[in-house]
Structure 1
């Protein structure tokens, strides 16, 4: 793994937090293996998560009706993005592996991290109509979520009060990371961090360190290939009829998203096949 580069995007405001400890373990472990590691500590940077016309320089293409996605795509092509966005994009371009470290809040990312995605992972730079999923620009890069929860693991199960963790992971892992081409590694989840013993937290850090030692060799989560879908004006971008025919009689759907009205594949967003 020597010579590879990693980016850790950290979204927690407290430097004594377990999330900071996870980021520090990741950085030190990877560096010991010869990685070049960069950390984007979003709170320390004062990163602005709010979309606005200030995200581009120069006049917009349509000043009377500012369409953010369109204007950002044009500004990216013309080199007119704001400097803070360009700085983060350069970090992504340089990285082989990106780790997103954050606390699960309202069953999703903290606002500052979601804003980072909204402002940085933009049309042109990270995707286009013709380059999505396994054809995406970042198909040679790996990415993963590493996060903490307040609740116990059982509460994020199909029988738990919060529901199946696979469902919460789908929009982040499929809709954001895989959409841009990333090979998505299984998430590192530390459950109930606030309520476990110091010994249990130490074991979590040790398990994280052990995993990171061979992280580059891990297989990514499975993905339904683009070739299984077809685009039509009448039906949209959906699974081909022959694929649907092959799935008839099977008890489980293909994925959490393409479930076909059947049971979800167990742990499909939690571990590689």
Structure 2
């Protein structure tokens, strides 16, 4: 199953039972707009954590009645992050969303040793892009958390992403390990690493995966034909694995600002999905991230 747009993900989420989602530092207009939309769509029941007065004022301005939902006061970012994570750790929510809080304190709350959200796996960021003119959503990892992962970490990052895509219904995602060249060259260590990653992932999972591949060969059949290269992916990669956080960050912002795409973001590796968007992302992007988390969290295959 491949999703043509975020609207299709939202429709899939609407077919599931709503999940409870805790929101750390919920006193943000775009966050509350996304939460309100998700509530009206019937896909979540939020627990809002943060500055009670600011949350109430923003909700009132939006016409979003809070009387049906729990609001838990927190005076600092760290307190909000911990309380939102604690609720999930206790099993009272099935996902956590980052609100008006930086990523570092948000993730520290999730990783707190008093809680039970760790799985032993690496935390990694998965981006999903809806790009005008394309046929389906494109996924990319890791452009948000791991700065310069070593080979073992990259392997975990790939497996995190593949597990999540399986949870949302994509059983055989076409996966490309990106580099600047399709040839394995000792002078370009990333290409050697990509080749090894492909070999090891193929042992674990029966999926179409290739690397090293430059971006054009991963996403363009015309480029493959022009260069006379045969590819199992056929220029239709679903999942792109970038070598460093810089590559992923630049790629994501180029899609957003130049191609006018919308990016959703999920952090993987915890016992529950973590909705993590940039604070500058639109309510639409945040709603898309929520919908992805709902579809994944409603699937019992999430590893614990």
TM-score normalised by structure 2 residue count:
0.31
TM-score normalised by structure 1 residue count:
0.33
